[in-house]
A = this chain, B = another copy of it.
Amino acid sequence: MYCSLSESSSTAHPSQPFVFYCMRTAQTLSGIVARRFFNTSTRIMASGKTLTVSNINPNVIKMEYAVRGTIVIRAVELEKELAAGVQKPFPNVIKANIGDAHAMGQKPITFIRQLLACIANPSLMETDKSLPSDVIEHAKAFLGSCGGKSAGAYSQSTGVEIVRKHVAEYISRRDNGVPSNSEDICLSGGASESIRNVLKLFINKGSGKKVGVMIPIPQYPLYSATIEEFGLGQVGYYLSESSNWSLDEAELERSFEEHSKEYDIRVLCVINPGNPTGQVLSRDNIETIIKFAQKKKLFILADEVYQDNVYAQGSQFHSFKKVLVEMGEPYNKLELASFHSVSKGYMGECGMRGGYVEFLNLDPEVYVLFKKMISAKLCSTVLGQAVIDAVVNPPKEGEPSYALWKKEKDDVLASLKERATLVEKAYSSIDGISCNPVQGAMYAFPQITIPQKAVEKAQSLNQQPDFFYALELLESTGICIVPGSGFGQKDGTYHFRTTILPQPELFKDMLARFTDFHTKFLAKYK
């Protein structure tokens, strides 16, 4: 009767064989480059469609988000095949591609979930006599700040007032008393949304150039994808792998100079603790970056979503805000947006979509416009905001929920710390792989030596060598990692990102499967 997408599609449908999907995707993407130069006024193409790859938003074609890219699509297919009884050389798929703790078996924090249930269904506070009193107090305070005392009412676009207040108190505690004002904080559906909102402010070609955004290489692909989508200019600066992924002033200078002819560089993004690189920046290193930003008049975006994930002896998280304020004039006048999230840390509540941005020294007129812009999106999920509230205002010592909350939090962080050490040791011990210490965050980003014959094989398939490696790994072992080319890396080097999130038993299983695969891969392409 009519043609549904899935019936008519010859591309990218989960039921299509993967190789065919890859071929079609490759065709699409190369075809697109050619077709973009056609005059789109003849927009009703052979397909008869009004919207086609010939006239779609060109930035959507260019953007890539490797964390959910082709390898992951194939992993999902493999899971379905296994579930359907197809025989594979592995019993299960291990998704080490994404920082998704609960999907990897981490248990939720009881306090957070009790609070959420009370806010969702307030009658529980009357009927459930087993609820700790502090959970009820938190829930009532939160609901008292909601329209109609319901999480079903829209919040202000900037977020529920009491949560913004608790965030400010949290930041000030974290930063040794450096003040924070709730008016400078906007809640959002995860940190990604805030990061995208802030980057959107910079879209402006008034100077005749694209605005340039400095990002680390390797980077988290949200940045490269958003920069492409918004038509901004990517200005990559390399992290120094030999110095445990630290930043080097000379490299910042090189990158700035090299790109300043092409772009009007106005933004410097830093990810600390690092994703995908797992380093924790030293205070010295942060001061270097701040001085550089001041010299070049850059607006700093500090992605600090892994601030609770610091494992290495001697490593400590320093917020950019605290360092910048403590450095005094003129650095304390720099414009800064700092981001945090409930998706990482010890709670790992990715699906809840809670995050925030704190602004420092933002032009007040710009802030009015920012708030107007986000108002058209109405508000972020109110239950997500409740999770933020639980994270920034957890049980205090002496309250009924404190002991369990503390134990659950400490257990998660201790286990992550154990796996952070384990992953580095395991990968470093494998021939042809080197791995920096995982000081923080949730990832290792090992470098792999890919034999020349494998590189040639990959090239013959029109694939990046690390993509080829990752796909072989997936098909042979069920382990899903993300090729380094999705994050950026120095030419001629190959990496992959793996999370440290599989629970200990699965994690050991994964390392064993990996080692076996790698040995065979080296032998095969020797």
Contacts and interface: CB of A to CB of B under 8 A. Distances in A.
Contacts of A69: 375
A68 B375 contact: yes
A60 B373 contact: yes
B9 A375 contact: no
A49 B297 CA distance: 8
A522 interface: no
A343 to B, nearest CB: 8
Contacts of A367: 5, 9, 12
Contact of A325 (B2, B196, B208, B362): B2
A87 interface: no
Interface string A328-361: 0000110100000000000111111100000111
Interface in A96-143: 98, 100-106, 108, 113-114, 116-118, 120-121, 123-124, 127-128, 130
Interface stretch (A243-251, A379-387, A400-408, A429-437): A379-387
A48 to B, nearest CB: 7
Contacts of A65: 372, 375-376
A44 interface: yes
A366 B53 contact: yes
Contact of A117 (B120, B333, B372): B120
Interface string A187-211: 0011011001000111110111000
A402 B48 CA distance: 46
A52 B363 contact: yes
Given A13-B183, A50-B298, A154 B373 contact: no
Most buried by B among A56, A120, A202: A120
A11 interface: yes
17 contacts: A1-B332, A2-B325, A4-B179, A12-B364, A28-B365, A36-B206, A43-B264, A47-B363, A51-B299, A53-B363, A63-B372, A108-B152, A117-B120, A117-B124, A150-B351, A152-B349, A154-B351
A461 interface: no
Given A2-B333, A152-B348, A352-B382, 14 more contacts: A6-B181, A11-B365, A40-B264, A50-B297, A51-B201, A53-B365, A53-B366, A57-B203, A68-B378, A124-B128, A189-B189, A190-B378, A196-B377, A351-B382
A155 interface: yes
A335 B11 contact: no
Contacts of A64: 372
A462 interface: no
Contacts of A3: 332-333, 361
A225 interface: yes
A451 interface: no
Contacts of A347: 152
A288 interface: no
A8 interface: yes
Interface string A13-34: 1100000000001001000000
Most buried by B among A8, A103, A196: A103
B350 A153 contact: yes
A351 B113 CA distance: 18
Q: How many copies of this chain are found per oligomer?
A: 2
Interface of A: 1-14, 25, 28, 36, 39-41, 43-44, 47-53, 55-61, 63-65, 68-69, 76, 98, 100-106, 108, 113-114, 116-118, 120-121, 123-124, 127-128, 130, 146-148, 150-157, 178-181, 183-184, 189-190, 192-193, 196, 200-204, 206-208, 221-222, 225-226, 229, 264, 266, 297-299, 324-325, 332-333, 335, 347-353, 359-373, 375-384
Nearest to A182: B6
B364 A11 contact: yes
Contacts of A57: 200-204
Nearest to A321: B2
B368 A380 contact: no
Most buried by B among A51, A364, A368, A370: A51
B207 A40 contact: yes
A148 B105 contact: yes
Contacts of A101: 152-153
A9 B183 CA distance: 11
Given A103-B153, A363-B51, A325 B1 contact: yes
B102 A148 contact: yes
B325 A6 contact: no
A228 to B, nearest CB: 9
B376 A221 contact: yes
Given A1-B178, A206-B40, A152 B350 contact: yes
Nearest to A64: B372
